[in-house]
Each structure stands twice: as structure tokens, then as C-alpha cells.
Structure 1
């Protein structure tokens, strides 16, 4: 479980996150939604340690990532998997080498062990046949699947996905959604998805946080989302679903 409490973040005096909190459950698809510039990506960066909030806590099973010692921070980071927007693959590395990369920098395993684990993860996303290919040789949807394989190669407890469907056609987007959902359930991961794709949110958002101007204005599930009486959320939904 991941808890965020009273997260504040600002840049040059401009408040980007203003007292955001939430509780992201293990084994569930937890989603953060909102329009452009509402603080979604900044919140994600605060949660994974790229940015440090001015105030607040990010608790990983009770461990505060914001104030933790360097050893605890390293320990928590080893428990994270991140699917970056666009895949963020290394162009100069093969698909297998991209998936293996976290093992190369974070473990002392032999090359044989690392390759075996990377291949297992590629098999899980249906891409073992592409192991020797370069990122430039595969499609956008395949790149996302490679990114997912890399994100799970360390057997993470926490999985973060930043706009996993951006740039994908609707059919491929559904496949990526299903893969993220399957992996979350299969490995009982705490998954946090930043998304603007309302089809994804309505399909798999078991816990949803809506941000507007850096504040949390609503939280609930995909089952209660459409019945909201929050005007800002109603307006957001109307622009995304019509």
C-alpha cells in the first residue's frame, strides 16, 4: 500500500500540488486523472523520488520515502517498477538489454541469470521473439510492452505507469490496459496509473483520484465516477467522453 499525505509542491513560488492525499491499495489499479497542468505528473515524480515535495509524506507500507535514510530510499526504489510515457527505451540497446538494464545496475546477478529473468519478463508480455531487435525496429505498442517487461523485471511491489496509452490506437490501448491489469492481479502489485484516457479509467480504475489546480477534488471508483456531483469533474468528463 502507498499513502500520500498532505503533499505540497511548488516551483518558483507557484503552487503545483496543494495538500494532496490518497491511499493506493495493493493488488488494485489506482488511477490519477485530471486535465493538463493539474499536477498529475508532478505527483508521480514526487512519489517515485524524482522530485521532493516541500511538505507531506509518501508512505510505502509505512516507510516515509520523503524523510527516509539513503539506505531505505535505495531499498524502496528496488521495489519500484516504472513505465515511463513513451516507453523511454535506450535506442542503442536491444529489447533484451533494455529489459535487463535494471538488473545490470541494481543486482550482482550473473549475465546468464539476468538474461534468463529478462526473457521470462519478455515472455510474459508476449515479446520473447523480439529480444534481439532494436527499439527502432518495433511498433509503439511493442515498445510499451517492452517498457512493462522492464518495469516488472525486479519483481516490484509497486508499479507506476505514466500515460501508458499515449500515442496508441484504441485496440492497442486496450491490450496494454489488460496487460497492466493482469500483471497487477497476478503479482499482487500496488499499481498507480497516471491517465487522461477515460476509457481506461472506466475500464479498470478501482480507485481514482481527480486533481484540479493541484488539489484533490474527488476520489472514488470507476463504479461511482459517472455519478459525481463535483462540477469540475463533471466538466472534465464531458470534455473527455464527447
Structure 2
């Protein structure tokens, strides 16, 4: 479990996050939603240590990230898997090399151990036999799957996904959502997904946190979101015509 306690962050005179608190539970897909500029990506960066908050704390299974020394922070980071927006694959490396990259950087495994782990992860995301291909030779959806394989290659306890469906067609987006849900259930990972896609919310939203102008205005599951009395959340949710029709 990850506990986020009163996280605040400003850039200059602009308050981006104002006292955000929530719990991200193990074995659940936790989603942070909201429109552009609401602080979603900044909150993610504060959680994983890319941006230091001005106030507040992040606890990983009771371990304070910002209250720890550099060595302890590195130990927590080794338990993270991150799927960056767009996938962030290395264009000059093969699919296999992309997935193996964290193993090369962070472990002393033998070449055979690395090969077996990479092949397992590619098989797990449905990409067996693609290891020799270059990123330029595969589709956008396949690139996201490669990025997921890389994110889980270290057997993470925590999985972070930043807009995993960005740039994908709706059908491929659903498949990526299903894969994230399957991996979360199978390995009992604490998963956090940053998204503005209401289809993802309705598919995999075990726990949903809504941000508006740097504040948390609502938290609940995908079923209760349809019956919220928070005006800003309703405007966000029902800007999607299909969901408006469902409600009516």
C-alpha cells in the first residue's frame, strides 16, 4: 500500500497541489483523474520521487520515502515499475534490449537469467517472438505492451502508469486496460494509473481519485462515480456523451 499524506507543491507563485491525501491499496487499480492542468502528473512525480513536494509525505508499506536517506530511497525505487506516457522506448535498441534495460542497470543477473526474464515478460504481455524487432517495426499498441513488459521486468511491488492509453485507438486502449488489470490481480501489485479517459475508469477503476485545480474533490469506485453529487466531477464525467446516455 502507498499512503499519500498532505502533499503540497508550488512552482513560483502557482499552487499546483494543495494538501492531497489518499491511500493506494495493494491488488487494486487506483486511478487519478481530472482535466488537463489539474496536477495529476505532478502528483505522480511527487509519489515516485521525480519532484520533491514542498510539504507532505509518501509512505511505501509504512516506509517514509522523503524521510529516508538516499540508500533507502533507492531501495524503494527498485520496487517500482513505471510506464511513461508514450512508452519512452529507446529507438536504437531492440524490443528485447528495451525490456532488459532495467536488469542491466540494477541487477547482477547472468546473461541467461536476464534472457529468460525478458522472454517471460514479453510472453506475459502477448509479445513472444518479437524480441529482435525495433520499436519502429511495431504498432503503437505493441509499443505500450513492450513498455509494460519493461515496467514489470524487475518484479515490482508498485506499478505506475502515466496516460497508458494516450495515442491509442479505443479498442487497443481497452486491451491495455485489461492487461494492466490482469497484471495487478495476478501479482498483487499496488497500481496507480494517471488518466483522463473515462473508458478506463469504467473498465478498471477500483479506486478513483478526482483532482480539480490541485485539490482532491472526490474519491470512490467506478460504480459510485456515476452517482456523485460533486458538480465538477459530474461535468468531467458526463462530458462524454456515451456516459450521459447511460445515466439517462
Partner residue in 2 for 1:189: 189
Partner residue in 2 for 1:68: 68
Gaps of 5+ in 1: none
Structure 2 residue 238 is matched with structure 1 residue 235: no
Q: Normalization by structure 2: what TM-score?
A: 0.96
The structural deviation recorded for 1:237 is: 1.1
SS in 2 for 1:8: strand
Structure 2 residue 205 is matched with structure 1 residue 205: yes
Structure 2 residue 227 is matched with structure 1 residue 223: no
Partner residue in 2 for 1:121: 121
Gaps of 5+ in 2: 243-248
Residues 20 and 216 of structure 1 are in contact (CA less than 8 Å); yes or no, is this contact kept in structure 2?
yes
Superimposed CA distance per residue, residues 54-104 of structure 1 (whole angstroms, 9 cap, x where no aligned partner): 000111001111221111101100100000110000001100000000000
Residues 6 and 56 of structure 1 are in contact (CA less than 8 Å); yes or no, is this contact kept in structure 2?
yes
The structural deviation recorded for 1:115 is: 1.4
Cα separation, 1, equivalents of 2:224 and 2:28: 16
Residues 83 and 162 of structure 1 are in contact (CA less than 8 Å); yes or no, is this contact kept in structure 2?
yes
Partner residue in 2 for 1:25: 25
The structural deviation recorded for 1:241 is: 4.1
Structure 1 residue runs of 4+, over 3 Å off? none
Partner residue in 2 for 1:100: 100
Q: Normalization by structure 1: what TM-score?
A: 0.98
Superimposed CA distance per residue, residues 2-33 of structure 1 (whole angstroms, 9 cap, x where no aligned partner): 01000001111211000001000000000000
The structural deviation recorded for 1:238 is: 2.0
Cα separation, 1, equivalents of 2:68 and 2:14: 26
Structure 2 residue 3 is matched with structure 1 residue 3: yes
Structure 2 CA distance for partners of 1:241 and 1:52, relative to 1, 3 Å = farther
Residues 198 and 241 of structure 1 are in contact (CA less than 8 Å); yes or no, is this contact kept in structure 2?
no
Alignment of 1:81-96 (within 5 A): 81-96=81-96
Cα separation, 2, equivalents of 1:45 and 1:239: 27
The structural deviation recorded for 1:110 is: 1.3
RMSD: 0.8
Cα separation, 2, equivalents of 1:97 and 1:111: 12
